[in-house]
Amino acid sequence: MTPRKQKVRIVCISDTHNHSPGEGFTLPKGDVLIHAGDLTNQGSYAEIKKAVDWIEKADFAVKVVVADAAYEWKHAEGWRVRASDTELCRKLLTESESFTYLENSSAFIEIPDEDVSLRVFGSPYSPDRGRQNWAFQYPEERAEYVWSAIPDDTDILVTHTPPAGHCDTSSHWTEGGCPGLLATIGRVKPLLHVCGHCHEGRGAKILRWHERPGTVATVRKWEDPGAGNKKQALLDLTGSRPGETLLEAGKETAVVTASIVARSFGRGGMAFNKPIVVDLVVPVLRRSETECSEPDDSVKDP
């Protein structure tokens, strides 16, 4: 028996860097809100609390958040944050009853009105390029270990870093994304991969996977219908609109870099992108909440 299908609207954002709705961007309506990291600039308690406050007020059935790249600092010179604040900052994220916080861990999210349950894996990690001293970084040789935590049955993947070569343009690095992550999503083949980190890489691509494991066969680049006008930045993967096709589960993955702040710091004046709104068709299925995993502390320091 073929399972029934249901359309789900997912609003994707990342790299808001202390900005909230009404301060450079607005949040469209949707079923799910995903924030792929960099909520703040320095990760202080006050900054994180401001971000948590506006996310908790946002009206979505489900909200998913990955950590700030600065909140669990390496205590480098120049950070104006006390080490004693670290656990307090973490509690703001882990103890919120309004959103699902993921730290290299997965959970099943349920949209009751739509009778939909999806497995989401979220991670704040990004490659250590040697010129930054952020939290949640790993050397390239540890990428396979970090991403081995992603379950094979992941429906939606949320990582702060994008995969190498796809929506990873950056004024800071020649290659902003992670090659190891690209190989992993080729193994997992999630429906949707939401990321950020590379401000100039904002956009979306549809990757169609080759029969050869982990190999991309074709790439379709999304053209933003909201560029330069008041329309939503909509990525319709339901096949319901002229010119749009249905995303094929297990054969295709939509990669979305959803950076709100449009430019890297020191690369021109402040500019903002719109959130990227993704419409997906998913099976109407119920999965056991008991299968949800807790945050995996074993990969906190790759």
CA atoms within 13 A on the CB side of 79: 23
Is the per-residue pLDDT at 41 higher than 70?
A: yes
Instruction: Kindly state the DSSP code that residue 172 receives in the 8-state scheme.
Output: S
Contact call for residues 48 and 71 (beta carbons, < 8 A):
yes
**Strand 5-13 versus strand 276-283 pairing type:** antiparallel
Q: 292 forms bridges with which residues in the sheet?
A: none
Residues 6 or more apart whose Cβ sits within 8 Å of residue 280 = 7, 8, 10, 191, 192, 237, 238, 247, 254
pLDDT digits (tens, 9 = 90+) for 128-142: 766 665 667 767 878
Integer CA distances (angstroms), 40 to 17, 26, 181, 213, 282, in order: 4, 17, 24, 37, 32
Place of tokens 């059935």: 61
Q: For the chain, what is the mean pLDDT?
A: 83
pLDDT digits (tens, 9 = 90+) for 71-90: 554 444 444 445 547 788 88
pLDDT digits (tens, 9 = 90+) for 103-159: 999 999 998 877 889 999 999 988 776 666 566 776 787 888 888 999 999 999 999
Radius of gyration of the chain (CA): 18
pLDDT at 212: 86
pLDDT digits (tens, 9 = 90+) for 43-71: 888 899 999 999 999 999 999 999 866 55
**Whole-model pTM?**
0.87
List the domains of the chain with CATH numbers.
Answer: 5-299 (3.60.21.10)
Residues 6 or more apart whose Cβ sits within 8 Å of residue 89 = 43, 44, 45, 48, 71, 72
